[in-house]
Amino acid sequence: MKRQALWFEAPYRMGIREEELSGPSETEVTVRTIVSAVSAGTEILIYRGEAPADLAVDATIGSLQGTFSFPMKYGYAAVGEVISLGPGVDPLWQGRKVFSFQPHQSHFLAKVTELLPLPSDVEILDAVFLPNMETAVNLLLDGKPSVGEQVAVFGQGIVGLLVTAILARIPLACLLTLDRFAARRRVSEHLGAHKSIDPAGRTKEEILSLLQGPREYKGADLSYEVSGNPEALDQAIAVTGFGGRIVVGSWYGTKDAILRLGGPFHRSRIRILSSQVSSIDTRLGERWTKKRLLGVTWRFLADVKPSQLITHTFPFSEVKQAYSLLNKNPGDCLQVVLAY
């Protein structure tokens, strides 16, 4: 059979190629993709040519090997239906709705160990958010928010909004979010942020005045930087209080982060931690495995129902328009989904 697959060919240039797809091997299945989600972070860096070409894509995912060099296929959030089985595969897999970390393409082959069957209480359009929700859960594990703390979240794209939705379920003293787009700020407050503001032009003192914590402690106990903007990290450092921690979930690609570390930071004992979903903090020990992380992720998908964050759905044939929209008008869209 033939499939349609998206290829990133050069900065700002992409195309759909027709590829031959063989039948499944002994332990494989064929999956027909129903929907896939476009990442407004990593994928737009690739689209613009701002991803380091010599960096491995993801050594932990079999479908995402190689480096960020053109031409390349990419994507990591596909939900589909199993349509054919290899001879050694249990017949119960036939017709199952599954999630898989796959590039944007109409069909794919996968071993059943590379598939995640959708739980009965998770809808297809919620399941497509699994990678971002898994990232959000991992960010919470790394930040370790506690009852009564003041938390600031810089960036209210999809990951930032999901982090906000989970944090809102903790009785915090203050949950402040920051994003330059008004539509995202409105959604952030709908999901539970106490206040969401535009960080542009805001002084340190203005932001601190919005953190409604104890008078004796100035600043955020915990800050998340998930905006993708290196300047936001410097702002997060400025408003995080003594002994606080900053979790950086953004990937800046080839962009540099210029930080002011010569002032209060030197004496503040702030901890800055990088967080990335392909691994779990080793300090959590054997208690937290990938399986446990995914279990929590599925529960939050059923609870939060992030399909409410889908603002645009494009037929796969119109994929170029989808990326152009995200690149030129990011404030007009939250989650963009491709339908096959």
Q: In this structure, what CATH number is given to the domain that contains residue 169?
A: 3.40.50.720
pLDDT, residue 154, reads 98
Rounded to an integer, the average pLDDT of 22-27 is 96
Q: What is the mean pLDDT of the chain?
A: 93
DSSP SS3 for 15:
strand
Judgement on whether residues 311 and 276 belong to the same structural domain of the protein: no
DSSP state of 105: B
Judgement on whether residues 150 and 182 belong to the same structural domain of the protein: yes
What percentage of the chain has pLDDT greater than the value 90? Answer: 80
Rounded to an integer, the average pLDDT of 42-65 is 80
137 Cβ contact partners less than 8 Å away, ≥ 6 residues apart: 166, 293, 296, 297, 300
Judgement on whether residues 80 and 169 belong to the same structural domain of the protein: no
Beta bridge partners of 315: 339
Judgement on whether residues 101 and 143 belong to the same structural domain of the protein: no
Judgement on whether residues 84 and 221 belong to the same structural domain of the protein: no
Judgement on whether residues 146 and 101 belong to the same structural domain of the protein: no
Asked if the structure places residue 290 within a domain, the reply is no
Asked if the structure places residue 7 within a domain, the reply is yes
Asked if the structure places residue 79 within a domain, the reply is yes
CATH assignment of the domain containing 119: 3.90.180.10
The structural domain count of the chain equals 2
pLDDT, residue 285, reads 75
Alpha-carbon gap, residue 234 to 67, rounded angstroms: 29
Judgement on whether residues 113 and 84 belong to the same structural domain of the protein: yes
Judgement on whether residues 187 and 277 belong to the same structural domain of the protein: yes
Residues 154-208 have pLDDT tens digits of: 999 999 999 999 999 999 999 999 999 999 999 999 999 999 999 998 888 999 9
Q: Is the pLDDT of residue 216 over 80?
A: no
Judgement on whether residues 263 and 218 belong to the same structural domain of the protein: yes
The last residue of a domain, from among 282, 297, 316: 282
Judgement on whether residues 177 and 85 belong to the same structural domain of the protein: no
Asked if the structure places residue 28 within a domain, the reply is yes
Residues 264-302 have pLDDT tens digits of: 888 899 999 999 888 888 888 788 999 999 999 999 999
Q: Taking each helix axis from N to C terminus, what angle separates 130-143 and 290-304, rounded to the nearest 10 degrees?
A: 110
Q: Is the pLDDT of residue 247 over 70?
A: yes
Nearest to 39 by CA among 284, 278, 334, 269: 334
Judgement on whether residues 96 and 9 belong to the same structural domain of the protein: yes
Alpha-carbon gap, residue 240 to 226, rounded angstroms: 15
Asked if the structure places residue 289 within a domain, the reply is no
Asked if the structure places residue 295 within a domain, the reply is no
Helix (H) or strand (E) holding 321: helix 319-328
Asked if the structure places residue 300 within a domain, the reply is no
Q: 58-63 — which CB contacts under 8 Å span 24+ positions? A: 58/278, 60/278, 60/279, 61/101, 61/278, 62/114, 63/100, 63/101, 63/102, 63/103, 63/108, 63/110, 63/114
Q: Is the pLDDT of residue 40 over 60?
A: yes
Asked if the structure places residue 155 within a domain, the reply is yes
Judgement on whether residues 78 and 158 belong to the same structural domain of the protein: no
Domain that holds residue 83: 2-123+306-339
